[in-house]
Amino acid sequence: MNWDYESPRKAYGETLVELGRERDDIVVMDADLSTSTKTAMFGAEFPERFFNVGLQEQNMMGIAAGLARSGKTVFASSFAVFATGRAYDQVRQSIAYPRLNVKIVATHGGITVGEDGASHQMIEDIGLMSGLPNMRVIVPVDSNEVRSVIRFVASEEGPFYVRLTRTALPNLTDGDFKFGKGAVMRDGLDMTIIATGIEVGYSLKAAELLKEKGIDVQVVNISTIKPIDKDIIVKSAQDTGLIMTVEDHNIYNGLGSRVAEVLSENYPVRMLRHGMRDIFGRSGRWDTLLSHYEMDEKGIAKVAENFYKGVKS
């Protein structure tokens, strides 16, 4: 496992450029944040296929839908709070409902936006996008997977939502993304932590801390939130009998809710959802915030240990 850190946004921008060289149907759009989302890399090489619409996220989604109608494969990017929150109606009516070939790739998801504060820390986007019929939702675990995911969504017809973080992530995979499939990142017998995105790396580190306390933890990565991998969730429940989910998102309508739905319908076991507990974030360094909300390795280990001991006592 490689713990070298790399920017998923940069991986996104680089992959767009590669796709642009290979295919002339690729079109990229942004809403005045192209330097931050890294779509500017595509714009620098293919200015005739890059459209920066300014602070008009709703309009961007409408134009993206029109370009898709005319045969283009469209990538539309902004911060998660704007791409899903401000433009929700346009995404719903103009992209998801007609099932158009638009790939919404949002950066700066979750509380790791940091100093920008609660107004920009989007913790509802997975729920919003998962609730839309026809929309498929992916949260890549690292930059290697980002490259594979972007190529995958470009090759598939119809709408996707891909959520990226602001911060660099450790490269935990070889980038062999399998749509709709989770992956066991660490074996364990006592309990399972199911995590997504940035929280996978922290969960792996938390598992090492828990090992020192005699708790053997399995860690599962779920990159595809919708459609979710029911089989791996049920098997993990059968193997360990105890499930904890971890996400940089509200515990309502996110990964935890999806896992709870699967377990309640197929193999009910005790579980705990961990993440933002129905509260907005606050301004601060991203790593300080993860620590404050017990979403770094020490916090996850503490919550998991208390959960385990509470069930086993």
Please give the single-letter amino acid code of residue 16: L
Catalytic residue among 57, 145, 199, 247: 57
- pLDDT above 70 as % of the chain: 99
pTM, entire model: 0.96
Whether the per-residue pLDDT at 149 is higher than 90: the answer is yes
Domains in the chain and their CATH numbers?
A: 5-170 (3.40.50.970), 183-312 (3.40.50.920)
Helix, strand, coil percentages in the chain from 3-state DSSP, rounded to 5: 45, 20, 35
Higher pLDDT, 2 or 198: 198
For the question of residue 6 being annotated catalytic, the response is no
Q: What's the mean pLDDT in 165-177? A: 93
Burial class of residue 168 in the structure, from the number of CB atoms within 10 Å of its CB (0-12 exposed, 13-18 middle, 19+ buried): middle
Which of 136, 92, 133, 85 lies closest to 108, judged by CA? 85
Inform me whether the pLDDT recorded for 4 exceeds 90.
no
- Mean pLDDT for the stretch of residues 8-24: 97
